[in-house]
Structure 1
Amino acid sequence: MKEHWQGDSRDALLSWLMAGVREELGVEQIFLQLCNRLVACGIDLSRASLHFRVHHPQWLGTRIIWSRGQPALDVQTVAYEVEATDTFRKSPFQIVFTTGSEVRQDLRMCGPLRFALYEELRQEGHTDYTAWPIEHTQGKRHLVTFATDRASGFSDGEIALIREVLPLFSLVSEIRIKNQLARTLLQTYVGPHASEQILDGATTRGSGVSLNAAIMICDLRGFTRLSDRRSRDDVISILNQYFDAITGPIEKYGGEILKFIGDGLLAVFPLEQPEACENLLRAVSEAQDAIAASQLGHELRYGTGIHVGEVMYGNIGSQKRLDFTVIGPAVNLASRLENLTKELQRPVLISSEFVKRAGCADRTKCMGLHNLKGFEDAVEVHALCSPRRP
């Protein structure tokens, strides 16, 4: 018998998926509307979930849960470790991800059910559950689930409608998820500001803007010796702990990390931000405290050069391989100050221009004039007071 859909809402649902989601940028809102429109078709949904992978550096993917009567979606991140857990291995998710098959379970059955998830759903009052693969190009597979608490469960016609709808949902979700993946990858590898510039079309070699910024360049000391004494995995772990200690405060106070250079990094604090110079000093101070408090505090030595000035911020490189970074005399001077920390045995050296701009003379000690490579005039150099060990 042919299912009767309320007010031709089936056709409206399919039309919406084909032409009505153009302005929706995120998959979350599309999924929310999909669930609401399935309810409008007469399907008595009580719960639905969407699981997709974005490969963020901190988590594997995202889980979105829709529940009837809730005003908003429940959006959760999923750790990389989840797929190694018994909870995942003994779940319908593992079957769908591995085989690409649909899974359906009548939750009204007497006795124990196959998976713990089924037991949880039954206890919540759901009667019927189904999980489906969301197939994207290049073999990428995601997952969507639907549940009802209607006494009779889903009808065959409702399952057929969901099956009809999902290929269209797969198309529109792939575009949004890949956009999110591209944004995530760019933010991971070039930083939030640079990633937005690139996504806005700044991909031509030489394109860029002039930027007034406070600049910091950090570098580890004795890294070659450290590498010789430790295994490869230990060295990578030490580097990651070191960068965690430094980058956390930089990001906290509005700085942008533009480049990791082996065991060093380059970061800027745009002067358009309030208290940019002061925020840089706060970041340096908190990074010092974090390193000193860590297990590595007794063996890590580092140097930081700080300056302020105008830089060129944009695309530099060859015709086919570009780097979005900052260049200019101000960056060079910060680099020379970082190198000078070895000679003066001070972990943080600051230019007089930065000291004047930040108004931090009471927190520094003047180390005199120094001739720096590439600069005709001697540069007045200051050391940050109460420094950690160089």
Structure 2
Amino acid sequence: MTAPENKSATLSDGVVDWLINGTRDQRFIDNIFAEMCIRLQQAGIPLARSTLHVLIQHPQWLGARFMWADGMREAEIARVDHDVRERSEYIGSPANEMFDGATELRENLEQDPALGRKHALYREMRAQGLTDYVAWPLYHTLGKRHLVTFATNRPGGFDDTHVAALKNLLPVLALVSEIRVKNRLARTLLETYVGSHAGELILAGATRRGTGTTVRAAIMICDLRDFTKISDNWPRDDVIDLLNDYFDAMSEPIARHGGEILKFIGDGLLAIFPLSEPKACANLLHAVTEARQAMIALNARNDGTGRAPLNYGIGVHVGDVMYGNIGSSTRLDFTVIGPAVNMASRLEALTKQLGKKVLLSRDFAELVEREFELEHVGRYEVRGFSDPIELFAF
């Protein structure tokens, strides 16, 4: 066995060296993975198919699968749902065995299928003419296990030198993939908790308290009505489901139309539409229109389950805001502050008093009144502002 091990090292040494020294400027693991597979072929390993499975921390996805096959220049990326472990595609699969503790899987795809493992994946690979399959865990820090697989269509499958060469890659591939997965994880977590634009700024180094920029933006503040009564009288899980459904109805149109949600505040949200983007104010009202339709649909579904309809109020203003880091020396919030934000908040509060779902300031209305039909409500005192404010309903 000594000779094959020495020979195997020569097969993959060039690829190992490239992973260590040639991927520093490559940001995405899927691109590295595809090029690695091509380089393995060029090194003499008869690779026909390979997959990399990584677990990620994402609100919508359990993980991702990168798949490369002979002739592909780029890896195919598939997201994996959180509930995949309950499905037949996972139960009994190599991923299932690996995440249950297996340290190596090898399947001879040329043998009688009745003698091998039973899973749709193995049938699929046999149908593709593959002859051999091997899978190993990929260990990241603190024992986190991911998965990499290799398959060939070479008659007789991989020989010992091929398998040893592939195994030789694992420690370096683990290091290279962990760096990229954690970079992506940091970006995902920031996008999830502070929004995509703020996340980009933070990753670019905007982490010092008090730093920020002045942005002219349309500001939207939305609040759910009678939430205290709902939370006092409904079961906890129902309250959480209700809030999630409500935030989906409001948030998805905002994101579609170029807005950025900066924070959820209990049962409310704060979003901005920077005026640096074309038609930002019109986009805000398009988002409000779609959110209103989504709330009507949500209330119709809730009515079918005996739940009371949800009511809400939205205040909209436009102006300059300070956009940046605010907080203590060790705990910061990336948000917007300024009189324009205060005005939007006051208008949201007035929606309940005036019986309107959406109130707009005159400053905002002037920017959209040619495109949208607005209802003039009148001039009203607004707490914290010396002069009455002219209001419009939408």
Normalised by the length of structure 1, the TM-score is 0.95
Tell whether 2:128 aligns with 1:118: no
Question: In the alignment, which of 56, 59, 64 is matched to residue 57 of structure 1?
Answer: 59
Question: In the alignment, which of 75, 88, 91 is matched to residue 90 of structure 2?
Answer: 88
Specify the SS of the correspondent of 2:89.
Answer: helix
Q: Is the CA contact (8 Å cut-off) linking 2:33 and 2:75 kept in structure 1?
A: no
CA distance in 2, matches of 1:381, 1:361: 17
Q: Is the CA contact (8 Å cut-off) linking 1:92 and 1:115 kept in structure 2?
A: no
Question: In the alignment, which of 317, 320, 329 is matched to residue 339 of structure 2?
Answer: 329
Question: In the alignment, which of 44, 47, 53 is matched to residue 46 of structure 2?
Answer: 44
Name the count of aligned residue pairs. 384
Question: In the alignment, which of 202, 209, 215 is matched to residue 205 of structure 1?
Answer: 209
Tell whether 2:240 aligns with 1:260: no
Specify the SS of the correspondent of 1:182.
Answer: helix
Q: Deviations over 1:90-128 (max 9, x none)?
A: 112122122150111111111422131222211221110
CA positional deviation for 1:85: 2.3
Give the aligned partner of residue 78 of structure 2. Answer: 76
Gaps of 5+ in 2: none
* Backbone CA RMSD of aligned residues: 1.8
Tell whether 2:293 aligns with 1:283: no
Give the aligned partner of residue 386 of structure 2. Answer: 376
Give the aligned partner of residue 107 of structure 1. Answer: 109
Question: In the alignment, which of 353, 356, 360 is matched to residue 350 of structure 1?
Answer: 360
CA distance in 2, matches of 1:148, 1:233: 49
Q: 1:377 to 1:94 in 2, by over 3 A?
A: same
CA distance in 2, matches of 1:192, 1:123: 43
Q: 1:362 to 1:88 in 2, by over 3 A?
A: closer
CA distance in 1, matches of 2:371, 2:176: 57
Gaps of 5+ in 1: 385-390
CA positional deviation for 1:252: 0.4
Specify the SS of the correspondent of 1:89.
Answer: coil
Q: Is the CA contact (8 Å cut-off) linking 1:105 and 1:129 kept in structure 2?
A: yes
CA distance in 2, matches of 1:96, 1:111: 21
CA positional deviation for 1:71: 3.7
Amino acid corresponding to residue 345 of structure 1 in structure 2: G
Tell whether 2:317 aligns with 1:317: no
CA distance in 2, matches of 1:361, 1:32: 49
CA positional deviation for 1:370: 1.2
CA positional deviation for 1:368: 1.6
Q: Deviations over 1:60-79 (max 9, x none)?
A: 11111101023432110000
Amino acid corresponding to residue 238 of structure 1 in structure 2: L
CA distance in 2, matches of 1:359, 1:202: 37
CA distance in 1, matches of 2:123, 2:258: 46
Give the aligned partner of residue 133 of structure 1. Answer: 137
Amino acid corresponding to residue 228 of structure 1 in structure 2: D
CA positional deviation for 1:84: 2.4
CA distance in 1, matches of 2:151, 2:31: 19
CA distance in 2, matches of 1:196, 1:328: 22
Give the aligned partner of residue 243 of structure 1. Answer: 247
Specify the SS of the correspondent of 1:99.
Answer: coil
CA distance in 2, matches of 1:69, 1:250: 41
CA distance in 2, matches of 1:350, 1:168: 57
Q: 1:145 to 1:351 in 2, by over 3 A?
A: same
Q: Deviations over 1:362-390 (max 9, x none)?
A: 62222221111111111111111xxxxxx
Tell whether 2:239 aligns with 1:229: no
Amino acid corresponding to residue 192 of structure 2 in structure 1: T
Q: 1:343 to 1:109 in 2, by over 3 A?
A: same
Amino acid corresponding to residue 35 of structure 2 in structure 1: Q
CA distance in 1, matches of 2:318, 2:113: 71
Tell whether 2:373 aligns with 1:363: yes
